[in-house]
Structure 1
Amino acid sequence: MTVLEICCYSMECAESAERSGADRIELCAAPLEGGLTPSYGVLKSTRERVSIPVHPIIRPRGGDFCYTEGEFLAMLDDVRTVRELGYPGLVIGVLDADGNVDKTRMQQIMTAAGPLAVTFHRAFDMCANPLEAFETLAELGVARVLTSGQKASAEKGLSLIRELIAHAGAPIIMAGAGVRASNLELFLEAGVKEVHSSAGKWIPSAMRYRNPGLSMSTDPDADEYSRYAVDAAAVAQMKAIIARRAE
């Protein structure tokens, strides 16, 4: 049966996704940045309270995936922390300045990760040559690749996703970016064995007092009185579609 991975930005969201039928969690911080490394406290509490597999993302900042030496060393430390906490896997990606998988750095990451299942995230969608990058990741022993088929959404990139799936013995292809109940059947019909969805919604803050004249964000239009959370009903709906397909 197709694996349903849900991207979660807190321990509470991970618990909600688990209750709603998720098979695996990608644990992140900072939804507006596209996902950054969670804090140690979130890593520790989620490891203690969530039973399904959780794979934290290791990403020190937003933006591109070509990192400074200091950023990379911090990433290696985070990989070791995730391993020491007993997580079964992690999500990461490193490119060089020319848009290739940084093989040297990824090898160091694989060594630091040891037995953990490593997912190469959507840095893959920023690679100059996706087929060459895929072969490199296969050589490195990466467990899976999260991709939108190098398009703005996985639905638009379905052609490349199909092509990647056809590579026998390669890493698992997990389709992600814009995957939801309304288009899930497209991916199941294409033979995708793992799907990744945020299944999220913005919920209002519990704050009653609000200071309209002050913002903590550099974005003057940012809504600081809402937060991103998992939509449990959306997760359950996707899980039901997958289960029906498997019958």
Structure 2
Amino acid sequence: MKKLEIACFNPESALIAQQGGADRVELCDNIKEGGTTPDFEITKQTRKNLDIDLYVMIRPRGGDFVYAEEEFQQMKNEILQFKTLDINGFVFGILNADKSIDVQRNSELVELAKPLPCTFHRAFDEVQDVFLSLENVIQCGFSTILTSGTMPNVAEGITVLKQLVQKASNRIVIMPGGGLRSTNIGLLQDQTNAGFYHSSAITDGSEIASIDEVRALKSNLKE
């Protein structure tokens, strides 16, 4: 069964995602920055209102994914804080200055998050060596990589996404995301055969997911 994750920037979108049939919510803040760590109390309330899985973004700021020691400590503290809620996983990613995967720091955060699974987010799309980076992310212990195939969107990255799914060989989930819509999810499935798909389901330039788009995304997923 193929599954759908909706990136939500507010509690309203999280409820829409659930009502539309999504399998999981990725909760974050600050849509203009591409997602940052959500407010703790908002997350707490969102968790109470959701029956489906809830993953939480851990990202101290927008911009690049190279973090100072103080920011790294903040990420650690946020993971420990959010683990007190009944969430289901985390989403984060740290790069070195040369755009390689920071294996040591990512591994520390994955270890800290246990037993909850972790997704390496679209920081992956900035790496220089995509297939070496795949191996490094697997080494760190992540369960999923959210990626547009290192391209601006999934349609352009479809060839790389297909290769990533093949090379991952069920060792890690490759989750296409970035410009994923109900209009192209069928093509992505046919070409990549990925098991999980990621979209904001926002169609009107707002910060609220469209329930019609969530339903269309879900209905276009094949068994």
Give the TM-score, by structure 1 length: 0.87
1:81 Cα deviation after fit? 1.4
Aligned residue number for residue 237 of structure 1: 216
How far apart are the structure 1 equivalents of 2:41 and 2:127?
A: 33
Q: 2:200 aligns with which of 198, 201, 204?
A: 198
1:170 Cα deviation after fit? 2.4
How far apart are the structure 1 equivalents of 2:119 and 2:108?
A: 15
Local SS of the residue matching 1:74: helix
- List alignment gaps of at least 5 residues for structure 1: 204-226
1:169 Cα deviation after fit? 3.5
Could you give the per-residue CA deviations for residues 174-197 of structure 1, whole angstroms, max 9, x where no partner exists? 000111011111111120111100
How far apart are the structure 2 equivalents of 1:135 and 1:6?
A: 26
Aligned residue number for residue 104 of structure 2: 104
Could you give the per-residue CA deviations for residues 114-168 of structure 1, whole angstroms, max 9, x where no partner exists? 1111000000001111111110111122100000000000110011111110122
Letter in 2 for 1:116: L
1:202 Cα deviation after fit? 4.6
Counting only pairs closer than 5 Å after superposition, residues 169-184 of structure 1 correspond to structure 2 as 169-184=170-185
1:49 Cα deviation after fit? 1.1
Identity among equivalent positions (%) equals 35
Local SS of the residue matching 1:84: coil
How far apart are the structure 1 equivalents of 2:103 and 2:26?
A: 23
Letter in 1 for 2:178: A
Aligned residue number for residue 76 of structure 1: 76
Local SS of the residue matching 2:58: coil
Counting only pairs closer than 5 Å after superposition, residues 31-180 of structure 1 correspond to structure 2 as 31-167=31-167, 168-180=169-181
Aligned residue number for residue 206 of structure 1: none
Asked whether 1:187 is paired with 2:188, we answer yes
Aligned residue number for residue 5 of structure 1: 5
Could you give the per-residue CA deviations for residues 79-122 of structure 1, whole angstroms, max 9, x where no partner exists? 11121212110100000111111011011101210111100000
Kindly report the root-mean-square deviation, in angstroms, between the aligned alpha carbons of the 2 structures.
1.1
How far apart are the structure 2 equivalents of 1:164 and 1:40?
A: 34
CA contact (8 A) 1:82 1:90 kept: no
Q: Could you say which structure has the greater relative contact order, defined with CA pairs below 8 angstroms and 6 or more residues apart?
A: 2
Local SS of the residue matching 2:207: strand
Would you say how many aligned residue pairs link Structure 1 and Structure 2?
221
Give the TM-score, by structure 2 length: 0.96
Runs of 4+ in 1 over 3 A off after TM superposition: none
How far apart are the structure 2 equivalents of 1:36 and 1:139?
A: 25
- List alignment gaps of at least 5 residues for structure 2: none
Letter in 2 for 1:115: P
Could you give the per-residue CA deviations for residues 20-75 of structure 1, whole angstroms, max 9, x where no partner exists? 11110110101111001000111111111111001010011001000011111001
